[in-house]
Chain A
Amino acid sequence: MRAIIRFFTRFRLLLLFLVLETAAVVLTVQNNRYHQAAIFNTSNRISGAFYGRITEFRNFVRLRQINDSLAVHIESLQAQLPQNRFVDSSTFAPLPLDSTSNQRYYYTGAKVINSTVTFRNNYLTLNKGSLAGIKPRSAVVSPKGIIGIVKDVSPHFSTVISLLNKNARISARLKRSGTAGTVLWTGGNYRYADLIEIPEHVEVKKGDSVLTSPYSSIFPDGLFIGTVEEVELPSGSSMYEIRIRLAADYRRLNYVWVVEDRLGAERDSLESSLIYE
């Protein structure tokens, strides 16, 4: 203690000097925009370099995930190659296999620039709009699973009703049995959704794949939605309550494809005439 006091008494002038000079510098910096800018530029340069390193590291850590998603994407592309298509030789004349004719679904890549998962009704924003050929009521899918349905388009952006939305009811089927039901989200955890309208006589197991069904007028048939996580048959009900784990992680969406059904309008207009009968 005495040593500390002696230290302070010996250096009291130097300490006073430093305190006063620090006060003067603080006053100068507070007063002057130029000085503020000079200090902030320096600190930004330091923190900027730091954040750059962190981002680099994070990207490196995520390489595995990115590779996985790319592998899945390559698989889907390979499936579209002409040599991988099956040509039914029993038909009268094989269809011409060029890239434009007879293609029903058109894929447009887009980037998710905004998305939420925390609300009851969640939406996404994509960085492409009507100029890129995106139309409302198109399906939005990611390499892992389906995402949602395009709601509105502006020239450069489009909004998407996420599956995590009260208004999203997607026609789905169980891969094993082919039974059709409806996938909807009742809120809560964004990694899980519900599959309803599966009757009790159908065999459902944990781990069964849930795909989009051909009943859907928006999604192509057979896109992955998720896997069955929990099956429950409420007493007195003839329908299962099935909880499914969604394949797509809505919190980590990056690139998605907007799928336009070129025959969707024709189908819709034909089916809508049924309603008035």
Chain B
Amino acid sequence: MSEILKHTFRLVLLLFFQVTVFNHIGLHGVLNPFVYVFFIIMLPLSTPAGLLMFIAFASGWLVDIFSNTGGMHAFASTLVAFVRPFWITTTIPRTAYDDLQNISFRDVEFGQFLTYSTFLILVHQLALYSIEALTFTAFFSILLKAVSGTLITSLLVIGLRYIDIRPRKTT
């Protein structure tokens, strides 16, 4: 129960900052951090894939509602949630955890978490800008936005991870 509360609280907080602060950064029109992806990244490893997609869709849609973007974020988030289970099995070796139920990101090494999160953020960014343009003619523009967005978001996500996990470690 406290787990659910924790994730809900995280989602609300991330949404709040996403909508009020990060949506309005848009440095040079290309540097757009979407930190709410952190919520999807940090959902428990044991979350069932179907539920994961539902949650991702809902959280993306919430961002859409507040940013007036229709379903673009829902689209990108659902894709991230779809890719996540496969990506976890490839990036985080099974030797790192024996019991899937008890594992949390606290036990995942930094390097593994970095590759895990950065790829998902890249997927999210590519999906987001692709559906925004709805064409592949603007390929380099999409790529530039996606890569720069991935860099800034990854940076923020790593920072958030430390804010998020540190206090727990001390407990």
Contact = CB atoms under 8 A, between A and B. Distances in A.
B69 interface: yes
A213 B75 CA distance: 76
Contacts of B126: none
Contacts of A26: 71
Given A17-B82, A38-B135, A28 B69 contact: yes
A30 B135 contact: no
B71 A16 contact: no
Given A24-B78, A28-B69, A34-B134, 11 more contacts: A13-B49, A13-B50, A23-B57, A23-B74, A24-B75, A26-B71, A27-B64, A27-B70, A31-B64, A31-B71, A35-B70
Interface of A: 12-13, 16-17, 20-21, 23-32, 34-35, 38-39
B58 to A, nearest CB: 10
A16 B79 CA distance: 11
B74 A38 contact: no
B53 to A, nearest CB: 6
Q: Max chain B CB contacts within 10 Å: which of A21, A31, A34? A: A21
A20 B74 contact: yes
Nearest to A38: B134
Of the four ranges (under 10, 10 to 19, 20 to 34, 35 or more), the interface on chain B belongs to 20 to 34
A35 B50 contact: no
Given A16-B53, A17-B53, A27 B135 contact: no
Contact of B61 (A25, A27, A38): A27
A27 B71 contact: yes
B53 A30 contact: no
Nearest to A29: B70
Contact of B71 (A12, A13, A28): A28
B50 A25 contact: no
B57 A35 contact: no
A4 B70 CA distance: 34
A60 B73 CA distance: 51
